[in-house]
Amino acid sequence: MALGSKKRETRKSLRQSGWITLDGGFAARPCMVEDISSTGAKITVQDNNTLPAKLRLAFARDARTGRACEVVWRKGKTFGVKFVR
C-alpha cells in the first residue's frame, strides 16, 4: 500500500472538555477532546489509568448522551478512539 493512499477524515481541532463513561458505569471521568472527525476523536486524560477498549465519549456529564467508542491507539495519556454503533 502506497503512503498516503489511505484517506483520513478531516479532523477539526477542538480542545473542549468532555466526559468518558465506561460500559454500564456511572462514574464519568473528565477528559479533553483534542480533535474530532466524523469517524473518531483524539482525547487526553488527566490520570494515568488506562482506558478500556470500549467507552462512551460525551460533552455532558450525563451518561445517556455521547457516542460509543473503541480505543484504536494510545500514547501516554492521549488516546485515539473511533466511533462505533
Domain-embedded: residue 77: yes
Domain coverage including residue 50: 12-83
Three-state helix/strand/coil letters over the chain: CCCCCCCCCCCEEEEEEEEEEECCCCCEEEEEEEEECCCEEEEEECCCCCCCCEEEEECCCCCCCCEEEEEEEEECCEEEEEECC
Residue 2 lies in a domain: no
What pLDDT is attached to residue 62?
Answer: 72
Domain membership of residue 39 (yes or no) is yes
In a domain, 4, yes or no: no
Per-residue pLDDT, 45:
93
Query: In this predicted structure, what is the pLDDT of residue 1?
Result: 45
pLDDT in 10s for each residue of the chain, 85 residues = 445 545 667 888 989 999 998 866 667 899 999 999 999 999 999 887 778 899 999 988 775 778 999 999 999 999 999 999 8
Can you give the pLDDT at residue 28?
85
60 part of a folded domain: yes
Residue 42 forms part of a structural domain: yes
pTM value? 0.81
Within-domain flag for 47 = yes
